[in-house]
Chains A and B, each alone.
Chain A
Amino acid sequence: MDLTVNGDLHSLQVDRERSLLSVLRSELDLTGTKYGCGEGNCGACTVLIDGEPAQSCITPVSAAAGRSVTTVEGLAAGDELNPVQQAFIAHSAFQCGYCTPGFIISATALLARNSHPSEAEVRSGLNGNICRCGAYVRIIRAVRSAATAMASPASAREPAE
C-alpha cells in the first residue's frame, strides 16, 4: 500500500487493519506521534490527513492510503519551525512534552480552518487533547499568539500559494 507521509511516498507491506499510529511509529520510525490511550480519547496520536486532524490510533492505515499524512516531524520547513511550534517554545506551553506533538498538530489544524479563533474556540478546538501536566493556560496562550503571529505583516509578505 502507498502512504504519503510528510511529503514522502512509502510503499508498505502491512496489514490494512493496523492502526496508522502503529505503522508511523514502528515501520517509519516517526515516533513524534505518541501512543496515549489507543482509544481516541486523549489526542496524543493526532496527525493531519489531507489537512484534517485524525486520531491515528483508531484510524486503520488503509484509511490513509493514497492521502497525505502530516506528522509533527513534517511541520517545520527545514530549520524554520511552524508558528505553533515557535509559540509553544516562547510560552513554555508544556512540561513533560509527551502530549505536545498532538496539541501542536490539533492547533495547526484549528488555525488552518479559523485564523482568528476566540479563546472559547481555541478551548473547544483543543478539547480532544489531554495534557496531564496541566499546561493548558499556556497552551491556550501559545495558540492565540501563533494566530497573531500568522496574521502579522512578516508572514503576510510570504508569497501566497
Chain B
Amino acid sequence: MSATTSAQKYTLTVTGPPRWTLPGEPPEVGGDPAVLLTIDRSGQVSVYSGKVEYGQGIRHGFALTVADELSISPADVDVVLADTARVPWDRGTTGSASMRTVGVQLRRAAATARRVLIDLAADRWGVKAADVELVDGAARAGSPALTLDFAALLDGLSLQRDIPDDIGPGTELAPAEDATRARRVDALEKVTGRARYSQDFVVPGMLHGKVIRPPTYGAKLVDIDTARAERVPGFVALVRDGDFAGVVAETEHAATYSLESVRVRWEESRDDASDWSLPSLLQEHAGEAVVLQESGSLDEGMGEADGVLDGTYFAPYISNAQMEPSAAVASWEDGKLSVWCGNRGPFSERAQLAGALGISEGDVHVMTLAVGGSFGTKTPTVSLEAARLARHAGRPVKVAYTRSEEFIWSTVRPAALIEIKSGFTSGGKITAWDYRAFHAGENAFRGRRGAMTPYDVPHTRVAVAGSVSPLQHGSYRSLGGAVNHFARETHMDRMARRLEMDPAEFRLRNLSHPRYRRVLEAAMDRFGWSTRKRRDGVGFGLAVGFDAGSYVAECVEVEVRDQQVQVRRVTAAFDCGAIVNPDGVRNQVEGSIVMGIGSALWEAVEFDGGRVLTTGFNRYRVPRVMDTPEIEVVLIEDDSNPATGAGEPGIVPIAAAVANAVADATGLVIEQLPIEPQLR
C-alpha cells in the first residue's frame, strides 16, 4: 500500500519504520518507513504489521496498546497482520520480539494520531490542546462538553504524518482498569469455530493435492505407475517434476485414495544414523567452535578448586507437534502466485517461494490465515508443494498435511550434546567453568542462545559448535536456549549436591546479577522453598534462566511413583520489564511450562536409517490435562526496564528444574532428556 493510494481512502495515515529499535541499535535492513496506522472516512482505526499471530496473543496485544493510546475499545482496532500486499516488510515472528519492537512502534503511531486528533479539535474549538481529551472514540473539551468523533474531526481531510522523534517508546497514559481488558479480541471466533485456519481454507475451483513421499530421506524416485489411481473417481492428474511428485484430485478424499493407489519404485540411499547413535555423531562431526565467553585461565581455575565435576548432557530431537498440521492453498494467475497459509513470516515465505519457483518476489502474494500453533515451525515446504502442484495442474491446489506427514516432513528441534567441566571450592564458589556444546545443524549460531553462564566465575570458557543433523531441523520455542539451560542448571545442582549445599543457596553465592537474584528470590519465596518438606517419593528442584531479554526462575515439586513422574506444582517468577497485558504474559509462561514438561519427561523423535519412527501422538507423548501441575506465575512488573520477550523465556528453566527435582526424589544422576524412560 503506497501513501498516494491510501490518501484517497484514508483521512489520516501515519507512517514510520515498522519496528521500534532501541537507542544504539542499528535500524533493520529492509525496514523502510511504511504505513503503520490509518483512519478511514468512517473513523475506523487500522494498524499494519508483518508479524504473525500463531496463538501468542499479539493481535490482542497490538489492539490493546493502540486502543489505550486512542481511548477506544481494543475490539474497534482492525489489526492487519502478515499479508504481503498490505503490511510493511518484516523479517519474521521470532525471538519473542513482537510487542517490544512492533508493539512499541504501533503505540507510537497511535500516539501520533492522538496528537493530530487533539490538535484538530483544539483548533476547531479555539481551546488549548492540553484541555482536549480523547474519550470513547471522540475528542472532548470544556463543560458543557464539546464532542466530536474521529470521523467528524477528520472529515474531508487527507493527512499524512511521520511519527515524530519526540514520541518515546513509553506512554504517559495509564491504561484503563477494566476486567474485560484481558479478553482477547480474537476470542469469539476461536470459541465458535469461525476462525479459518489453513486446514480450513478453500477457494473456488480448487483441487486437493497429495505429495508422494519417499520411504526414507534422500530416496530417489525411479518410476510411478498410476494405472490404479486413474480409476479413482475424482482423480485429476499425476504431477512429476524430478524427485517431486504428487497427485491432484477433486476432493481430499479422492486425493488420499489416489495417493494410496499409485505404485512407486524408489532407490533408497543408505543412512546409518539413528537416534541412539546421535550423541557420538554430534561430537564426531562437530564444526568449528564459536567461543562466546572467555575469561581468566581454566587451568588456574581448576587448580584453585577443591572439587571438579564433569558432566555430559544430551537432549534429543523433539517435535514441535503444534495442533494444526501444516496446510496451504496456492493459486496461479498470469504467472503470479497467491498463497494462503500459516507461516512465521510472510516475507521470508515469499522470498523462499520466489527463489524456489524462479519468479520475482513481486509476483508472489502471501496471505496468512489463523495459525494453529507454531513454536518455531511452519516451514514454507507445504506452500511450495501446493504451488508446484497448482502450476502443473492449472488450477488452485490445496495441500493439507496429515499428522504423520507433519511428524516426518516438518522440522524438529535440534538435538544437542553438551560437555561441562567445572571447578568449585568447598565454600561453594565456582572457580572454573568449561562449557562445550555441540548442537545439531551446521550453523553454530543456532546453539548460542542461553549458552553463556550468568554466574560469577573468574575462569570461564563457553564454546558452541554446530554439527551434522540427520533430520531436518528447524526452530522451536527458545531455540538452543532451552537445551543450554537444561545442561547448565542441571550441572549447577550436581555441584551443590556434591557440596551438600542447598541448590538455591549455592546459586545465590555465585550470582550477583540483581534481576536474576530478584526472580530467584521471588520464586523461592512464593513457592515456600525454605520450608519445603521432603517426603518419600517427593522431590524439589529449581533453576534460573534468561531468554529474549527476560529473567525467569522456576521452583518445582515432583512426585515419583511406579517409575512415573508427576509434576505437582510449579512457581515461576518472571521479569520481562514493562508489561502491556499481564494476563497474556501469564498465559505464555504457563504454556511454556507445560510444553517444557513434555520435553523434560517424555518427548523424543525416534529415527533409524533415514526413517522417522515417531509418526503419531500414540508414539509421542505430549503433556495432557492430567499431567498439568498447579502453576503460579509471579510477575515482576518493573516499568523501569523496557518490555522484553514473554512467549519463550518461561520454557528455559523448566527441564532442569524438573530434572533436579527428580534427582532430589530418587538420588539418580540425570544427564539426558527425556527423563521418564531412565527410571525404568
Q: Measuring CB to CB, which residues of chain A are less than 8 angstroms from any residue of chain B?
A: 15, 18, 22, 25-26, 30-39, 41-42, 44, 71-73, 75-76, 81, 85, 88-90, 92, 94-101, 104, 122-124, 126-127, 129-140
Contact = CB atoms under 8 A, between A and B. Distances in A.
Nearest to B201: A31
Contacts of B403: 36-39, 42
Contacts, number: 170
B192 A73 contact: yes
Given A37-B617, A42-B617, A131-B323, A31 B402 contact: no
Interface in B346-402: 370-375, 400, 402
Contacts of A104: 191
Interface string B617-649: 110001111101011000000000000000000
A94 B190 contact: yes
A127 B556 CA distance: 22
A32 B200 CA distance: 8
Contacts of A85: 191-192
Contacts of A31: 193, 196, 199-200
A136 B323 contact: no
Interface in B55-80: 55-57
A91 B229 CA distance: 49
Nearest to A30: B193
Interface of B: 54-57, 182-184, 186-197, 199-200, 251-253, 321-325, 370-375, 400, 402-403, 583-584, 587-588, 590-595, 616-618, 622-626, 628, 630-631
Contacts of A122: 625
Contacts of A39: 403, 616-618
B372 A138 contact: no
Nearest to B650: A134
A135 B587 contact: yes
A130 B592 contact: no
Contacts of B374: 96
A71 to B, nearest CB: 7
Contacts of B594: 134, 136-137
Contacts of B592: 134
B625 A35 contact: no
Contacts of A126: 625
B373 A98 contact: yes
B587 A95 contact: yes
A95 B191 contact: no
Contacts of B587: 92, 95, 135, 138
A100 B623 CA distance: 16
A41 B617 contact: yes
Residue with the greatest number of chain A CB neighbours at <10 A, chosen from B196, B616, B628: B628
Contacts of B595: 132-134
Contacts of B187: 88-89, 92, 94
| Max chain B Cβ within 10 angstroms of own Cβ: one of A104, A130, A132, A140 | A132
B583 A32 contact: no
A132 B622 contact: yes
B616 A72 contact: no
